[in-house]
């Protein structure tokens, strides 16, 4: 028996040992040479460093639970550039698979740059220095090798706690912060700390003034010092920055200069140390996950890749998601909510891991001209993209809602297309993103063509490039399009302000379906506006549209008739879309394959909206969303005429357009023209007739006044204006001069002619034939089949 025991006990011990955690940690000073450029602050303009305030470190923790081995590495650099990661993986010990190397930068703005060859980034990171890249990669690899060499039996635990005052939202002082400090403590068999890992979100950008050219790890450097003082010099503190996009350091001790930097670092260390005191140790299971994910399209494709590595690490019930760039805090908070909903105990977000794909902002922050928003290049849906991919890597299942066995109702098809004379009718149903994607995919060739012709071409030709500034002085051998397009995209964020998230989602879908970057699709949407501002060619002297409403007794056979022609100088493919959204009102509009805004539309409540540009010479880029996108939101959300009118009147940033709004108030027909000039004014019908522009309008173009004079003369003597009269007026071919001069209601630029009967939720659409004569009017009900007249 004793013999048996002598055999069994060592075997059991061996088995236990085999599954026990092994850990080792090491740090290597990777400070670059004095004279090398530092990376981070644009004010440095790529100039060289002049000294060292405190060293730059690579700190590595090796973990092996017997099944999974990995390196968790924190480096005091601004980011992990692809060139650096690639070289580290080549130099590192061949111990763990590359996907189990979690390499993250602390994002100090005062460590060596010069490690990227990409030219535009050199403006921030300085002269490309291959030797410096090699030296830094070697230092990081050495830290990993040393950590592995120092591996020993270990225990690991983690905990989270709250901080107060250490971080603030740098864009919105009342905005969200991540109050969490996450801590992982690793001890050896004797209870001596091997390493402590702290996760906290704030930009290490506390250095300025005459210290701008000194090497420093910023506040993480003081965190290391304080933690080593608290846990002993053998412990290797590691700092993993969080979703720091819009987070910066607070100043709870009201210090300045280096004292402030030191204060934050030491306070953070003490707080983390306090949290570490609460840690319980137990068995450890490590699980890693990774995916090589295809990124959404971007216009900054000269800098940003098509794919990126995403990594996640689970340590028992702790989930860590590694973001390849600077995520705003909202993304971390949402990821945490989702992780906890799946039953994880805790969640850390770690930023600047494996790559530096710039900033990631939530959808609602995308329509801003903030630094974070304009440095985001993958569209407003990037947060959803992360949630989808990180959730896909979670080993815990999503919580189930309701009865799983209940039969799911078959959803209606997202898109249905019916060919009509000279155009298409497209029915769209479902959520905004799905609708958009279906439409984008259905018309992707036309949208791509529009993008190439109306966005890329004017940038390539220099028509849309500035006449001053850096781009204007580029030598001719430089392809300014590659820089000009993303810059235009950045500058166009403001135009998204005031647009509903629902519509933004729909446009994201359209861009995705058409395989365009969102910013490119968005530029296509307001390409005509940009053209008007930049260069007043014939395109911009063209008046838009004719519109009139006949109200009450004057409308023979109906209480309300609205007639409208859209004049548009560019050749287009016309479509009628009938949209049945999950939320808001069903509506139909007449427009083009690519346009997400509204020029001519009516919803299920009989609200009609039409727009006409009147003051062409004063066109400027509005400070917020252009009119057609506001109309698009109104048509989906307004339940009656008054609501639509009130919402319109609030758009005080709009200039130079008239909007005709019509509908019913308690079954009473109403119509008005909202004139957006220096002020917003509302004009009511006179004698039951309302014209989009009065023939004596002081600032309207001549052709517009002539056209409305003709309309007025045609209708003024008719007491009972019926549908036939209105349709005949809209499609009458005036003499050639008026036709060519756009002075006739149906002229050379007319792209559609529509008569609305809001009471019946029906519109009659005539699209131009190939000879540009008016097509037959098609009766288009909002619900049900189409009827040719």
Partner 1 sequence: MNDVVRNYTWGNLKRRRRSVHHRSRGLAKFLLPVFAVMIVGYLWLTRDNYMPNEFIPADSGVEIYMLNPVDKRTDIFSSRVFSLAPEGSEAHGVVNQLAGELPLPEWLLNNICAGPFHVSAASADHLGDAVIMTRMTRVGTLTSRLASFAPQVHVEYTGGLRLRYIPDASLYYAVRGRTLLVSMSRNRLVYALTLHPTNALEASQYRQGVLAATQADLFCRLGPEAFPWTPPVFAQMETALRVGSDTVHLTTNGTLSPAFTEHYTPFLATLTPQPLPMPLDGFLTTSVAANMDLPALLTHLSESLPALAAAAEMLAEPQPEDMTAELIEDMQTLLQQALRSTGSRMRFAWSDLDPYEMMPAPLISATFDINTYDVIALFERVAPAPEVSSGVDLAPRLDEEHMLAYAPFVGGEAIEPAITLYANGMLVSSSANLAREQLRTAPLTETYPQDGNLFLRIQPHPMATAIVDVAREFAASGLLRAHTEPSLEAAAAPWLDAVEAIDSVVLFAYGDNGQLHADLTLTMHDASDTPNAATPLEAADEE
Hey, which residues between 573 and 592 contact partner 1 (CB under 8 A)? none
- For partner 1, the closer of residues 132 and 147 by Cβ is 132
Give the Cα separation of 66 and 577 in Å (integer).
Answer: 60
| Binding status of residue 122 toward partner 1 by CB under 8 A | yes
Hey, which residues between 130 and 189 contact partner 1 (CB under 8 A)? 130
DSSP secondary structure letters along 481-498: HHHHHHHHHHHTGGGGTT
Residues facing 71 on adjacent strands: 62, 101
Give the Cα separation of 487 and 452 in Å (integer).
Answer: 17
- For partner 1, the closer of residues 20 and 302 by Cβ is 302
Question: Least distance (Å) from partner 1 to the CB of residue 134?
Answer: 14
| Binding status of residue 307 toward partner 1 by CB under 8 A | no
| Binding status of residue 468 toward partner 1 by CB under 8 A | no
H or E element that contains 641: helix 641-649
The burial class, CB within 10 Å (0-12 / 13-18 / 19+), for 643 is middle
Give the Cα separation of 224 and 674 in Å (integer).
Answer: 63
- For partner 1, the closer of residues 113 and 367 by Cβ is 113
| Binding status of residue 34 toward partner 1 by CB under 8 A | no
Give the CA-trace dihedral at 224, 225, 228, 230, to 10 degrees.
Answer: -110
| Binding status of residue 423 toward partner 1 by CB under 8 A | no
Q: How far is CA 379 from the centre of its chain?
A: 3
CA distances from 335 to 12, 102, 106, 289, 477 (A): 41, 19, 20, 16, 45
Per rule CB under 8 A, count of chain residues that contact partner 1: 31
Segment interacting with partner 1 (CB under 8 A) among 23-31, 112-120, 409-417, 591-599: 112-120
Q: Within 13 A of 168's CA, how many CA atoms are on the CB side? A: 13
Among 478, 665, 682, 728, binds partner 1 (CB under 8 A): 478
Tokens of 614: 């009147």
- For partner 1, the closer of residues 84 and 272 by Cβ is 84
Question: Least distance (Å) from partner 1 to the CB of residue 84?
Answer: 16
Segment interacting with partner 1 (CB under 8 A) among 121-129, 157-165, 438-446, 655-663: 121-129
The burial class, CB within 10 Å (0-12 / 13-18 / 19+), for 26 is buried
| Binding status of residue 53 toward partner 1 by CB under 8 A | no
Question: Least distance (Å) from partner 1 to the CB of residue 139?
Answer: 21
Residues facing 312 on adjacent strands: 289, 321
Segment interacting with partner 1 (CB under 8 A) among 41-49, 392-400, 540-548, 572-580: 41-49
Question: Least distance (Å) from partner 1 to the CB of residue 479?
Answer: 4
Give the Cα separation of 377 and 487 in Å (integer).
Answer: 10
Segment interacting with partner 1 (CB under 8 A) among 69-77, 117-125, 505-513, 737-745: 117-125
Among 212, 225, 424, 471, binds partner 1 (CB under 8 A): 212
- For partner 1, the closer of residues 445 and 472 by Cβ is 472
Give the Cα separation of 620 and 727 in Å (integer).
Answer: 34
| Binding status of residue 462 toward partner 1 by CB under 8 A | no
| Binding status of residue 696 toward partner 1 by CB under 8 A | no
Question: Least distance (Å) from partner 1 to the CB of residue 308?
Answer: 18
Give the Cα separation of 659 and 676 in Å (integer).
Answer: 8
Q: How far is CA 488 from the centre of its chain?
A: 15
- For partner 1, the closer of residues 115 and 230 by Cβ is 115
Question: Least distance (Å) from partner 1 to the CB of residue 520?
Answer: 16
| Binding status of residue 83 toward partner 1 by CB under 8 A | no
Report the candidate in 350, 347, 327, 328 with the shortest Cα–Cα distance to residue 339.
347
- For partner 1, the closer of residues 233 and 476 by Cβ is 476
Tokens of 228: 């080593």
Tokens of 630: 């506001």
Question: Least distance (Å) from partner 1 to the CB of residue 455?
Answer: 18
- For partner 1, the closer of residues 34 and 192 by Cβ is 34
Tokens of 219: 């506040």
| Binding status of residue 127 toward partner 1 by CB under 8 A | yes
- For partner 1, the closer of residues 90 and 479 by Cβ is 479
132 near 36, Cβ under 8 Å?
Answer: yes
Among 16, 118, 461, 736, binds partner 1 (CB under 8 A): 118
Q: Tokens 């905004």 appear where?
A: 432
| Binding status of residue 461 toward partner 1 by CB under 8 A | no
Segment interacting with partner 1 (CB under 8 A) among 111-119, 146-154, 291-299, 612-620: 111-119
Among 3, 5, 209, 403, binds partner 1 (CB under 8 A): 209
| x-or-dash string of contact with partner 1, 277-306, rule CB under 8 A | ------------------------xx----
- For partner 1, the closer of residues 47 and 395 by Cβ is 47
| Binding status of residue 479 toward partner 1 by CB under 8 A | yes
Question: Least distance (Å) from partner 1 to the CB of residue 118?
Answer: 5
Among 22, 48, 134, 291, binds partner 1 (CB under 8 A): 48
Question: Least distance (Å) from partner 1 to the CB of residue 75?
Answer: 22
Among 1, 5, 18, 43, binds partner 1 (CB under 8 A): 43
Among 483, 558, 638, 700, binds partner 1 (CB under 8 A): 483
- For partner 1, the closer of residues 91 and 471 by Cβ is 471
| Binding status of residue 213 toward partner 1 by CB under 8 A | yes
Q: Where are the alpha helices (DSSP H) in 24-176?
A: 82-91, 119-125, 130-149
Among 7, 8, 13, 47, binds partner 1 (CB under 8 A): 47
Pairing of strands 762-766, 750-757: antiparallel
Q: Within 13 A of 695's CA, how many CA atoms are on the CB side? A: 11
754 near 767, Cβ under 8 Å?
Answer: no
Report the candidate in 288, 343, 352, 292 with the shortest Cα–Cα distance to residue 320.
288
Among 51, 97, 120, 557, binds partner 1 (CB under 8 A): 120
- For partner 1, the closer of residues 38 and 661 by Cβ is 38
Among 233, 399, 476, 698, binds partner 1 (CB under 8 A): 476
Segment interacting with partner 1 (CB under 8 A) among 125-133, 380-388, 504-512, 572-580: 125-133
Among 9, 13, 119, 682, binds partner 1 (CB under 8 A): 119
| Binding status of residue 17 toward partner 1 by CB under 8 A | no
Give the Cα separation of 24 and 13 in Å (integer).
Answer: 22
Pairing of strands 101-105, 247-249: unpaired
Report the candidate in 197, 231, 214, 394 with the shortest Cα–Cα distance to residue 313.
394
| Binding status of residue 457 toward partner 1 by CB under 8 A | no
- For partner 1, the closer of residues 308 and 542 by Cβ is 308
| Binding status of residue 46 toward partner 1 by CB under 8 A | yes
H or E element that contains 24: strand 22-29
DSSP secondary structure letters along 585-640: --EEEEEESS--S-SEEEETT--EEEEEE---TT----SS--HHHHHHHHHHH--S
Pairing of strands 346-350, 318-322: parallel
| Binding status of residue 783 toward partner 1 by CB under 8 A | no
DSSP secondary structure letters along 44-85: GTTPBP-EESS--EEEEEEEE-SS-EEEEEEESSS---HHHH
| Binding footprint of partner 1 on the chain (CB under 8 A) | 35, 37, 43-48, 117-120, 122-123, 126-130, 209-210, 212-213, 301-302, 476-479, 482-483
């Amino acid at each position: 028996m004793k013999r048996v025991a002598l055999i069994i006990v060592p075997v059991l011990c061996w088995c236990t040992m085999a599954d026990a955690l092994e850990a080792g940690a090491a740090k290597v000073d990777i400070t670059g040479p004095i004279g090398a450029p530092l990376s981070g602050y644009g004010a440095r303009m790529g100039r060289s460093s002049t000294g060292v305030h405190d060293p730059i470190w690579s700190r590595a923790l090796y973990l092996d639970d017997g099944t999974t081995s990995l390196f968790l590495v924190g480096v005091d650099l601004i980011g992990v550039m692809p060139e650096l990661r690639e070289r580290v993986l080549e130099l590192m010990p061949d111990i763990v698979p590359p996907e189990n190397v979690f390499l993250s930068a602390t994002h100090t703005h005062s460590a060596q740059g010069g490690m990227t060859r990409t030219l535009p980034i050199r403006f921030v990171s300085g002269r490309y220095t291959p030797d410096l890249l090699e030296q830094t990669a070697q230092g990081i690899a050495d830290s990993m090798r040393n950590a592995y060499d120092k591996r020993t039996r270990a225990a690991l635990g983690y905990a989270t706690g709250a901080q107060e005052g250490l971080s603030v939202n740098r864009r919105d002082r009342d905005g969200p912060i991540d109050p969490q400090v996450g801590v992982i403590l690793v001890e050896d068999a004797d209870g001596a700390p091997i390493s402590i890992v702290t996760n906290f979100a704030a930009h290490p950008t506390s250095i300025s003034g005459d210290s701008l050219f000194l090497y420093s790890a910023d506040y993480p450097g003081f965190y290391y010092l304080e933690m080593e003082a608290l846990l002993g010099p053998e412990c290797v503190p590691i700092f993993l920055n969080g979703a720091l996009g819009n987070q910066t350091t607070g100043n709870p001790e009201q210090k300045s200069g280096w004292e402030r930097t030191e204060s934050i670092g030491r306070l953070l260390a003490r707080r983390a140390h306090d949290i570490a005191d609460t840690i319980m140790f137990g068995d450890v299971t490590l699980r890693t996950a990774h995916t090589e994910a295809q990124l959404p399209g971007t216009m900054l494709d000269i800098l940003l890749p098509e794919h990126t590595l995403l990594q996640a690490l689970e340590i028992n019930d702790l989930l860590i998601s590694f973001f390849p760039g600077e995520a705003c805090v909202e993304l971390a908070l949402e990821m945490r909510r989702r992780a906890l909903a799946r039953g994880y105990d805790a969640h850390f977000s770690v930023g600047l891991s494996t790559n530096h794909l710039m900033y990631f902002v939530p959808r609602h922050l995308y329509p801003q001209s903030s630094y974070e928003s304009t440095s985001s290049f993958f569209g407003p849906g990037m947060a959803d993209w992360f949630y989808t991919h990180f959730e896909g890597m979670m080993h815990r299942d999503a919580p189930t809602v309701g009865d799983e066995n209940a039969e799911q109702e078959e959803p209606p098809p997202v898109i249905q297309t019916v060919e009509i004379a000279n155009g298409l009718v497209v029915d769209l149903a479902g959520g905004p993103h799905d609708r958009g994607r279906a439409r984008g995919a259905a018309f992707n060739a036309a949208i791509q063509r529009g993008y190439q012709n109306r966005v890329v071409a004017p940038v390539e030709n220099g028509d849309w490039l500035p006449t001053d500034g850096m781009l204007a002085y580029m030598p001719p051998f430089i392809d300014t399009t590659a820089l000009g397009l993303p810059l235009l995209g950045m500058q166009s964020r403001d135009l998204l302000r005031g647009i509903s998230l629902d519509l933004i989602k729909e446009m994201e879908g359209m861009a995705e379906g058409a395989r365009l970057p969102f910013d490119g699709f968005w530029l296509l949407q307001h390409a005509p506006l940009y053209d008007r501002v930049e260069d007043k060619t014939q395109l911009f002297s063209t008046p838009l549209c004719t519109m009139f409403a006949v109200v009450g007794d004057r409308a023979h056979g109906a209480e309300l008739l609205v007639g409208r022609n859209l004049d548009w100088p560019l050749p287009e493919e016309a479509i009628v879309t009938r949209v049945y959204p999950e939320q808001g009102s069903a509506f139909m509009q007449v427009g083009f394959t690519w346009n997400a805004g509204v020029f001519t539309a009516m919803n299920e409540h009989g609200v009609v909206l039409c727009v006409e540009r009147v003051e062409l010479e004063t066109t400027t880029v509005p400070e917020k969303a252009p009119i057609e996108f506001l109309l698009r939101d109104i048509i989906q959300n307004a339940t009656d005429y008054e609501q639509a009118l009130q919402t319109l009147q609030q758009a005080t940033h709009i200039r130079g357009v008239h909007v005709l709004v019509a509908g019913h108030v308690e079954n009473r027909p109403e119509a008005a023209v909202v004139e957006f000039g220096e002020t917003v004014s509302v004009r009511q019908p006179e004698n039951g007739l309302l014209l989009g522009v009065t023939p004596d309008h002081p600032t309207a173009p001549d052709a517009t006044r002539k056209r409305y004079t003709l309309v007025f003369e045609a209708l003024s003597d008719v007491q009972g204006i019926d549908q036939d009269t209105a349709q005949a007026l809209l499609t009458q071919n005036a003499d050639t001069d008026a036709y060519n001069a756009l002075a006739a209601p149906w002229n050379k630029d007319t792209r559609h002619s529509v008569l609305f009967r809001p009471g019946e939720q029906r519109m009659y659409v005539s699209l131009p034939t190939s000879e540009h004569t008016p097509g037959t009017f098609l009766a288009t009900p909002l619900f049900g089949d189409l009827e040719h007249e």
